[in-house]
Chain A
Amino acid sequence: SAVISQKPSRDICQRGTSLTIQCQVDSQVTMMFWYRQQPGQSLTLIATANQGSEATYESGFVIDKFPISRPNLTFSTLTVSNMSPEDSSIYLCSIGQGENIQYFGAGTRLSVL
């Protein structure tokens, strides 16, 4: 499977600031996704990152809070905007690659003070 790199791996941020998380894949992929994993919780899909068009957000997530870019088939970013402590989570990107399977990056551990 493709190699998925996420940056940063972790960060500690002040409330009210924004953080942009990068997801780089070593091959072209059609589908990229962003998930949130709140402390002690399961994963929840935030949005599907569509190449060349706006992301498709799931219920409960909005573009103003989680803007996503997908400039090409190997790269995407997720920004967590105007952060509050409730945004402290692990954020993971994944790719859809063949046979309807998703592969995940190592995640970004975000703590908001």
Chain B
Amino acid sequence: AQSVTQPDIHITVSEGASLELRCNYSYGATPYLFWYVQSPGQGLQLLLKYFSGDTLVQGIKGFEAEFKRSQSSFNLRKPSVHWSDAAEYFCAADFSGGYNKLIFGAGTRLAVHP
């Protein structure tokens, strides 16, 4: 079955440190890929997306993600984390060829130490 895996449930980093959140999707045709962030008590905000083309995509809030077909991965990165980045991050994939059927990973909760 098609799936999205986020191996890390919780990650803690120090403010100013770099960040990488992992995301893997099940094998097969490359889906459309997304990263969303959910701050406490809020809905989901789209950080970035990958459909095709350049495998390094830039998003909002200084985030970027790299698509690696050989690893079926779409990891999210940020060079320097701010305390306001503490939130839950969801990787999602649309395997339906653009019919908007999103499958979400379990999420990674990010804590930022001062």
Contacts and interface: CB of A to CB of B under 8 A. Distances in A.
Interface of A: 4, 6, 31, 33, 41-45, 48, 92, 94, 96, 99-107, 109
Given A100-B98, A101-B49, A102-B100, A42 B44 contact: no
7 nearest A-B pairs in the assembled complex, by CB-CB distance = A106-B43, A104-B44, A104-B43, A96-B100, A100-B98, A42-B104, A43-B104
Interface residues of B, number: 21
A100 B42 contact: no
Given A41-B106, A42-B106, A106 B42 contact: yes
Interface of B: 32, 34, 36, 41-46, 49, 51, 90, 94, 98, 100-102, 104-107
Interface of A is mostly: strand
6 contacts: A41-B106, A101-B34, A103-B46, A105-B43, A107-B43, A109-B41
Contacts of A109: 41
* Max chain B C-beta neighbours (<10 A), residue from A4, A45, A105: A45
Given A100-B98, A100-B100, A92 B44 contact: yes
